[in-house]
C-alpha cells in the first residue's frame, strides 16, 4: 500500500504477511479522499478508523495532517503494526485493540469522520447496528460524516441517515450524516 498525499506522499508501507485484512485499494482510497478534500480541511479533523486493519486509512489522514486519529481493531498484530508505523512516521495515531462494538458503546469522544471498513461478510444488520450506535450516542461532531466501506453485494441505502454512495470496483463507500446536520 502507499500513502497518496500529504507529508508522506508516495511512501510505500508493507504490512506483515498473514494479517486478517483486506486493505482499501489505492484507486478507491484516492477517490474517497478526493470527496473528503472537497468537504473538509484535513488539519481540523478528528478521525475514528474502525476495523482499521493495516492502518491504511489512518495513515492517509495522518499524512494529510489530521489532528487526532484513533484506529481500532480487535487483532493485536494489526494494532501492533499501526502503532509501530505511527511511531516511525511520527503520526498522531492512537492504536487501540478492542472489539469495535464494545468500543463505540463506551467511548466518550466525538469525531468529524468515522470510517468503518468491516469484513465484507458483515450483514446489513451488522452495518445498521454500527450506524445506530454512532447516531444514538452522537459520536459525530456537527457536520460530521460516517463512512462505511462494504461489498457491492450490500445496499446500505435503506439505513437511517444514509445520504449517498460511491462505487469503486468491488467496493462501495456509503456516506451517512446526522439528519439534524442537514436541517
What's the mean per-residue pLDDT of the chain?
92
Contact 5, 27 (CB under 8 A): no
Q: How confident is the model at residue 183 (pLDDT cuts 50, 70, 90)?
A: very low
pLDDT at residue 180, rounded to an integer: 62
pLDDT at residue 133, rounded to an integer: 97
Residue 6, domain member (yes or no): no
Residue 157, domain member (yes or no): yes
Q: What is the pTM of this model?
A: 0.94
In the structure grid, which three cell numbers stand for residue 180, read together?
439534524
Q: Residue 182 pLDDT more than 60?
A: no
pLDDT digits (tens, 9 = 90+) for 145-174: 999 999 888 899 999 999 999 998 878 999
Task: Work out the average pLDDT over 102-120.
Answer: 95
- The domain tally of the chain equals 1
Residue 138, domain member (yes or no): yes
pLDDT at residue 27, rounded to an integer: 84
Residue 77, domain member (yes or no): yes
pLDDT digits (tens, 9 = 90+) for 22-34: 777 778 888 999 9
**Which residues does 75 contact at the CB level (< 8 Å), separation at least 6?**
19, 20, 53, 97
Residue 181, domain member (yes or no): no
pLDDT at residue 156, rounded to an integer: 94
Domain span at residue 95 reads: 44-56+67-120+130-170
> Domain containing 157 — which CATH number?
3.40.50.150
Amino acid at each position: 500500500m502507499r500513502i497518496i498525499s500529504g507529508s508522506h506522499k508516495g511512501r510505500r508501507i508493507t504490512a506483515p504477511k498473514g494479517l486478517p485484512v483486506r486493505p482499501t485499494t489505492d484507486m478507491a482510497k484516492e477517490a474517497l479522499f478526493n470527496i473528503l478534500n472537497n468537504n473538509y480541511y484535513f488539519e481540523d479533523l478528528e478521525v475514528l478508523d474502525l476495523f482499521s486493519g493495516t492502518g491504511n486509512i489512518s495513515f492517509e489522514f495522518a499524512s494529510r495532517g489530521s489532528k487526532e486519529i484513533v484506529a481500532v481493531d480487535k487483532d493485536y498484530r494489526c494494532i501492533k503494526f499501526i502503532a509501530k508505523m505511527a511511531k516511525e512516521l511520527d503520526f498522531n495515531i492512537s492504536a487501540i485493540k478492542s472489539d469495535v462494538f464494545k468500543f463505540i458503546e463506551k467511548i466518550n469522544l466525538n469525531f468529524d469522520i468515522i470510517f468503518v471498513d468491516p469484513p465484507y461478510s458483515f450483514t446489513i444488520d451488522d452495518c445498521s447496528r454500527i450506524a445506530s450506535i454512532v447516531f444514538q450516542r452522537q459520536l459525530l461532531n456537527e457536520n460530521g460524516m460516517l463512512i462505511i466501506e462494504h461489498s457491492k453485494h450490500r445496499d446500505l441505502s435503506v439505513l437511517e441517515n444514509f445520504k449517498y454512495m460511491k462505487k469503486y470496483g468491488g467496493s462501495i463507500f456509503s456516506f451517512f450524516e446526522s439528519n439534524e446536520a442537514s436541517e
